[in-house]
Amino acid sequence: FAPKILTGYSILLTAGPTREAIDPVRYISNHSSGKMGFAIAKAAADMGANVSLVSGPVNLATPAGVNRIDVTSTKDMLDAVMAEVDNHSIFIGCAAVADYRVAKVADEKIKKSSSDMQLALVRNPDILATVASHTPRPFTIGFAAETQDVERYAKDKLVRKNLDMIAANDVSSSELGFNADSNALKVIWAKGQQDLPATDKHTLAKQLLELIAEQIHILKDD
């Protein structure tokens, strides 16, 4: 049983990896399983929110009551998010978005030759920063996946990407973060921060949403 503290809120959420094609059979991606984002989607729906989940390629069932939009590349994810953003008052960027894509995707399978090869990459747009600079702007929460100096890098992303909150995770161990069933978060906002110690991703998702609800209610009462 979850208290319906998010009734009346509409949450747009990204989860999973994005995948950038190299040619018709190869791609660049990362180890995100989508478990953290899907756990947040489920917990948010359980708490009464209306939830839209933009998901990269993952092997997970859609949580009950969640509106799921499947995408592959970063460009697809950006387009899906921007098509939905005006209908939502909260955005959570949990996806592990590819920072780069291949400059020219080959139409045919690239044949191997006896020499080495190089791949030219170009920067992808930043989905989270695009949402945070959109008008009207939803309450915007980002994630930060770091392997060192977690707090410093997360605070830098909070300010640089103009976020309301950031949930930082240390992804240097295989027990937590990418593809694991458990995680730990350091949640930071302008006026405070809180550590959510290691636990299963479903429990953590609820704790994160409780912090978000608290901040939104404080902002409303200001």
As separate numbers, helices (DSSP H) first and strands (DSSP E) second, the chain gives 5, 12
Q: Which of 40, 138, 177, 211 binds ligand PMT (CB under 6 A)?
A: 177
- Min separation Cβ 111 and ligand PMT, Å: 31
The secondary structure element, H or E, covering residue 151 is: helix 150-160
Q: What is the DSSP letter of 88?
A: -
Number of residues engaging ligand PMT in binding (CB under 6 A): 29
| C-beta closer to ligand PMT: residue 131 or 216 | 131
State the Cα–Cα distance between residues 155 and 148, nearest whole angstrom.
13
| C-beta closer to ligand PMT: residue 35 or 42 | 35
Q: Among this protein's residues, is 124 annotated catalytic? A: no
Q: Which of 133, 179, 192, 200 binds ligand PMT (CB under 6 A)?
A: 179
Residue 99 annotated as part of some ligand binding site:
yes
Q: Does 124 bind ligand PMT (CB under 6 A)?
A: yes
Taking the CA atoms of the chain, what radius of gyration do you get in angstroms?
A: 18
The secondary structure element, H or E, covering residue 75 is: helix 74-84
| C-beta closer to ligand PMT: residue 49 or 180 | 180
Q: Which amino acid is at 125?
A: P
State the Cα–Cα distance between residues 25 and 3, nearest whole angstrom.
46
Active-site choice (30, 59, 67, 183): 30
Residue 126 annotated as part of some ligand binding site:
yes
Distance, C-alpha 121 to centroid of its chain: 22
- In the complex, which residues of this chain contact ligand PMT (CB under 6 A)? 16, 32-37, 74, 93-97, 99, 124, 126-128, 142-145, 157, 169, 171, 177-179, 183
Catalytically active residues, by annotation: 30
